[in-house]
Amino acid sequence: MLENFEGKPRFYFDLFEHRLLTSGAAYEVALESGSHPADLVDLRGLLQQPNYRTLPDVKPKLSTWSPDDIVSLARWLGYEVMDEEIRVVSDHFLGLRRLGLGPQENLIQPMGFTKLYQAAELPNAVRNNLYDDWDIDDFAKYVCKQALSPNKIRGSIHEALKIAARRGEGPSYKTVRERVMGGIPRLLARGGLYSFKSVDDHYIIDWGVDFAKANKGRMPHSGDMSLLSPKSLAPSRATIIIRFTSMERFALEVEDRYLTEQARIEKHNATRFTAIMRDIHAGELPTSIFINCTGPAELRHIAGKYLLLKKLCPEFDEERLASTAQLSVKHIIRTIRRNDPEQAPVSIELKALDIGVFDDVWPAKINNALKVY
C-alpha cells in the first residue's frame, strides 16, 4: 500500500515535524511514534498542489547547493518522486524549496530549467518550445479533456488548465490563449463542448448553427434546450429569452446564419474543386497524391496540405511534396518547422487562411452530441 504501482518506494513529508520520509517503513515508524496520519502527506501529491505558496516555509536542510547537488535533486525528483507520465515543471522545485528540500530559485537561474532537465537526463520534463508542434486540433483535444476533468467540475476551465499545467500534463492557460485564434470558447466548440459563461450573442448563434448542422438543418426549439442544457451542450431557455426576447427570434437568427454558412461552404467546396482540377491540368498538383481518395472532402484535404507545403517549403521537389502531403497534419507542421524554425503553428494556420485552404487542412467536424432525434 505504501509503494507505487512500479514497486518504487513512495516518499512522504511530515508537515508537523518538517521531515522527509523515504520509505513505507519510515511511514509506519512515524505512525507508531505518534504522528498523526493527516500530517504524513504523499510528497508527489503535495508538490502537485495548484498553489505551492500554501506549503509550509521550512528552513533548507542544506546551507549551500552546488550545481551537481541541484542536478542530483532534479534526477531524484524526475525518476523517484514523479514518474514518466508526470512532467517535471519549475513549480515542483519551488515546492521542494518551500519544504526545505531544495535550493533557492536564484541558484537554478544561472543554469536555467531547460539545461537542468537536460543535465539530469529527464525524459518527463517540461522544456521550452514543448508545444510548438501543436496545431488547433491538438489544443482543442487538450482543452476539452481538461473541461471534462474533476478539476473543471470543482472550478473554472481556467483553473483546470492551471492545475493540469502544474502537473505537467499540458500547456498553461496563458499558452493556450496566446497560441490559438479565438481562445478557449473556440477550442471547446471545435471539440464538441461549450461554455456559455461570459459569451456574446454571436457565440450562442454559432452554437445554434452547430445544432442545425447536427440535425440536418432543423432549428433548435425549447424542448432541445431542456434536453441538452443540463449536459452543458446548450444554453438555457432563459438565456435565449433574455438575449433574443423569444425562441422564435433566436431560431430566425440561427437560420439566417446557418443558410449563409451553408452557402459559404458550398461555394468554397465548388471553388476548391474547380481550382484543384485546374491545377491538376496545369501540372501544379500531381495526380498521384489523389489515387486513394474516397471523396471530395479527402480530395480537398490532401490538396490543401500539398499547397500549404508548397507555399511554405518552396525548395522541396515534387516528389517530397507529394510524399509529405500524404502524412498527418501534425507531421506536416513538424516538417515545415524543421525546414523553417521561424514558422510557428499559428503562422502556418494563418498562411493556410491566406491561401484559402484552412478549412480543407483542418476541417470542422459535426458535433454528433447535439443530435436530438
Can you read off the three cell numbers belonging to residue 115?
A: 539545461
pLDDT at residue 214 tops 90: yes
Rounded CA separation 273/270 (Å): 5
- The predicted pLDDT at position 126 comes to 54
- The predicted pLDDT at position 128 comes to 53
Mean pLDDT value across residues 247-269: 95
Rounded CA separation 148/40 (Å): 30
- The predicted pLDDT at position 321 comes to 95
- The predicted pLDDT at position 129 comes to 62
Mean pLDDT value across residues 318-340: 92
SS3 19: strand
Mean pLDDT value across residues 15-41: 87
pLDDT at residue 339 tops 50: yes
pLDDT at residue 211 tops 90: yes
Give the residue, 244 or 173, on which the prediction is more confident.
Answer: 244
- Label residue 3 by pLDDT band (50, 70, 90): very low
Model confidence pLDDT, tens digit, residues 35-54: 888 888 888 888 877 565 56
pLDDT at residue 1 tops 50: no
- State percent of the chain over pLDDT 70: 89
Cα dihedral angle (297, 301, 306, 310), rounded to 10 degrees? 110
> What does the mean pLDDT of the chain come to?
85
pLDDT at residue 151 tops 70: no
pTM value is 0.61
Percentages (nearest 5) of helix, strand, coil residues in the chain:
60, 5, 35
Give the residue, 124 or 38, on which the prediction is more confident.
Answer: 38
Model confidence pLDDT, tens digit, residues 125-145: 655 566 777 888 889 899 988
Any residues with CB less than 8 A from the CB of 329 and at least 6 apart, and which?
135, 137, 305, 361, 362
Q: Please state which of the ranges 122-126, 245-249, 326-330, 368-372 shows the lowest mean pLDDT.
A: 122-126
Phi, psi of 135 (to 5 degrees): -105, -175
Mean pLDDT value across residues 105-116: 82
- Label residue 98 by pLDDT band (50, 70, 90): confident
Residue 41's DSSP bridge partners are: 13
Q: Please state which of the ranges 140-154, 230-244, 289-303, 320-334 shows the lowest mean pLDDT.
A: 140-154
- The predicted pLDDT at position 242 comes to 93
- Cβ-contact 343, 337 below 8 angstroms: yes
- The predicted pLDDT at position 50 comes to 55
DSSP 260-321: HHHHHHHHHHHHHHHHHHHHHHHTSS-GGGGTT--SHHHHHHHHHHHHHHHHH-TTS-HHHH
- State percent of the chain over pLDDT 90: 38
SS3 88: strand
- The predicted pLDDT at position 7 comes to 46
Mean pLDDT value across residues 179-202: 82
| Structural Rg of the chain based on CA atoms | 26
Rounded CA separation 159/320 (Å): 44
